[in-house]
Chain A
């Protein structure tokens, strides 16, 4: 193996080790999932929630009409008779999610395939430029 291959193998091994050790971890994107009328679930996209998360309900005019914290299961309940239009959840540590009442919940993309594609593309770019450099060195 040349030194270039060793570095690439090292990087991929490192990623595999980290991934293997943290499979139970939650991720950083905050999500709002409607459960039933007047009930939403707020959680990080790998599972888990922060009890410090504050949820605020706004009407169509942008006025705050209801606010509160999550219960012990990460759910938030609000009265169904208020004219809720937009709901914002903020965990206070820089993560925030918003949901327009009545819109369909979009599940986040699966991470592993996307990560694999990004790693493959970045590896391919690195390989192409390294080859080009090798060729130009050889010709000169």
Chain B
């Protein structure tokens, strides 16, 4: 989910760039100092984890932790994605600078949805809420990726073995991995730093 420079057309870059700036501004609005340790730690974690790719078939996938970041940061999530993706683009050329907005928005929207899911279903156990949010976040990010690729060119959807079909197949294991990781991580945080989850 690191779209490289040159993959998207100009209108898509402009729209997703504008949306990412808006999301970032909303994320930074009225930020206070006590939130910075959490944001900083999660930026480092996101940077490291999303560089680890798992080869599946002709493609490869990597953990994104977008559900966990959404649960822990809520509206602040785009700050982590922006900082992490910018560093990856500059240092490793993973993703691109012109596609930075698209990559940020592709993760921000599912992160916010995951946060809503986690906060809403309070009757369910912490683990199940975390796992559901983790699974939904991967599905959401994948939908965003497909939507953005489709906006750019219809060739991605052509044929039985189209890029889009292969991406969906390749991400099924990641949905399971992220669900488990997010569920366990949220459970651990609930026991040690419950105030980070705003579960009261």
Contact = CB atoms under 8 A, between A and B. Distances in A.
A102 interface: no
Contact of B47 (A51, A108, A118): A118
B43 A122 contact: yes
Interface residues on B, range: 35 or more
A83 B41 CA distance: 50
B7 A18 contact: no
Nearest to A97: B4
A28 B52 CA distance: 9
B58 A26 contact: no
A39 interface: no
B24 interface: no
B51 A27 contact: yes
B192 A10 contact: yes
A11 B93 contact: no
A30 B5 CA distance: 12
Interface string A25-67: 1111110000000000000111010111000000000000000
Interface residues of A, number: 53
Which of B6, B37, B189 has the most CB atoms of chain A within a 10 A radius of its CB?
Answer: B37
Contact of B60 (A48, A51, A121, A122): A48
B48 A126 contact: no
A121 B37 CA distance: 11
Contacts of A46: 53
Contacts of A15: 45, 48-49
A26 B34 contact: no
B123 interface: no
Contact of B40 (A26, A44, A51, A125): A125
Contacts of A52: 58, 163, 166
A28 B149 contact: no
B185 interface: yes
A93 B52 contact: no
Contacts of A132: 33
Contact of A50 (B52, B59, B185): B59
Interface of B: 1-7, 33-34, 36-38, 40-41, 43-45, 47-49, 51-55, 58-60, 62-63, 87, 91-94, 145, 149, 155-156, 163, 166-167, 181, 185, 188-189, 192-193, 196
8 contacts: A7-B192, A19-B52, A27-B51, A88-B6, A90-B7, A123-B40, A129-B36, A133-B34
Given A92-B156, A129-B34, 7 more contacts: A3-B193, A7-B193, A27-B51, A94-B145, A122-B43, A133-B34, A133-B37
